[in-house]
Amino acid sequence: MITRTLGLVGAVVLFAVGAAHAACPAKIGVVLPMTGPIAPVAQGMLKAAELAAEQVNAAGGVNGCPVKLIVRDSQGQPSLAVDAARQVIDLEGARVVIGDALSATTLAVLNSVTVPAGVPLISPTASAPTFSEIGAKTGLFYRANISDALQGVAAAQYAKRENSGAVSILAINSDWGQNLSRVFKTAYEKLGGTVKKIVFYNPDQPSYRAEVSSVLESQPDTLYFIGYVTEGARIVRDWISQGGTQRLLFPHNLNDANFVSAVGPKFLTKAIWLTPGESATPSLDNFRNGYQARYNESPNGPGRTSTYDVIVLAALAIAAAKTDSDGKAIAAAFRKVTDPAAPPIYAGEAGIKTALAAIADGKPVNYVGAVGPLQFDASGDIAGAFVTWKLDDAGALKVTDRMNVDEVQALRKSLTP
């Protein structure tokens, strides 16, 4: 079990004035798969979370208290994610939880722990459409990632733009893989494209050659691969070594320099990555600069911007609710700190300090995240832009195109019966 807490050295002095009016520290639960198949992704996400907490504390903390992250390891397994969330809530007393990275584990935590406890769960990466219904019914689910209902449509549009021809899909056998495959197929075919074959694979296998061979039989012009970095590199290497097309389409989970390096940049010159988010905003610049300065490594990687944002949002919501012990009050405050009628406030220590001061003065706040605007609908969903990435001449991932939120929404509406 991984346990990690985060506060500031000297916090007793820094927060002493307000501490008499609150139980310090203000706790935010974090449940992520720090070990297991997607641990490399989760480790970058945790670094982003810690950066956000450090900046909140440097900006003065919330309600006179420093923020403390209570981190537990889900190992990417629903049963262990449930146990981890119960520890965070029942033993540590957190009344807002961040996580998990996977839709299946997030759903287990939501249904078994956070909703029954009246605690909001805000996910940085879960994208299954199922969550929209739960969020609408309970008011206890939010996410800073865009639903597969939009991601699949956007991917289909980009595939059409790139003249991808006949597409086959090789996807992980999970809610995410199944939902994204289904939405893409429906949208791509309505746009006039052809999906030749869909094959699902189970993770943690010694070999994926049978699944790769099955897709190869369809002889697609483009492969849409939906999976994670760890097994993804092995599968894509197998695909290429067996003569598969190098016209490849990848989702946000594989927008990772480690994946590129493991496959080999020379084999990915025709590949396209599609990720939710903006191509350039003050918040994104502030996040990237802060992450690079803090860790001396690239800030680009799946889930990092959204994880940073959900920690900042949780802290601002605690401040707006004026408590870290009332889950429903915190849940209601997420919309108060992303009020589109208020002037935009951006990521980074200075922006967080401005937001906290506005909250203290009873003014509206509109935190605009590193992923872009975070206006939550009645289901706790956001509707954001998408960007595409390709490799440059040096083999590095670079943004090449953008689809704005209005374009995505209009396209989805046009494809809905």
Q: Given this model, what pLDDT does residue 417 score?
A: 65
Task: Please determine, for residue 278, whether its predicted confidence score (pLDDT) is greater than 90.
Answer: no
**The one-letter amino acid at 191:** L
DSSP code for 6: -
Does the domain spanning 148-275+385-415 belong to CATH 2.60.120.380? Answer: no
Residue 167: band (very low, low, confident or very high) from pLDDT cuts 50, 70, 90: very high
Q: Given this model, what pLDDT does residue 243 score?
A: 96
**The one-letter amino acid at 47:** K
The rounded distance, in Å, linking the Cα atoms of 151 and 133 is: 17
Does the domain spanning 11-146+280-368 belong to CATH 3.40.50.2300? Answer: yes
Mean pLDDT, the chain, rounded, equals 92
Ranges in the chain annotated CATH 3.40.50.2300: 11-146+280-368, 148-275+385-415
* Count of CB atoms situated within 10 Å of the CB of 26: 29
Sign of CA dihedral 289, 295, 297, 299: negative
**Helix or strand or coil: residue 25?**
coil
With 0.75 as the threshold, say if the pTM is over it: yes
Task: Please determine, for residue 19, whether its predicted confidence score (pLDDT) is greater than 60.
Answer: no
Do 66 and 324 contact (CB within 8 A), yes or no? Answer: no
User: DSSP string spanning 83-148?
Assistant: HHHHIIIIIT--SSEEE-SSHHHHHHHIIIIIHHHT--EEESS---THHHHHHHHHS-EEESS--H
Task: Report the pLDDT averaged over residues 40-57.
Answer: 97
User: DSSP string spanning 352-396?
Assistant: HHHHHHHHHTT---EEEBTTB-----TTS-----EEEEEE-TTS-
Sheet containing 272-276: give its strands across.
194-201, 166-172, 222-226, 248-250, 272-276, 386-391, 397-403
- Could you read off the pLDDT of 296-321 as tens digits, one per residue? 999 999 999 999 999 999 999 999 99
Q: Given this model, what pLDDT does residue 405 score?
A: 77
The helix (run of H) or strand (run of E) holding residue 401 is strand 397-403
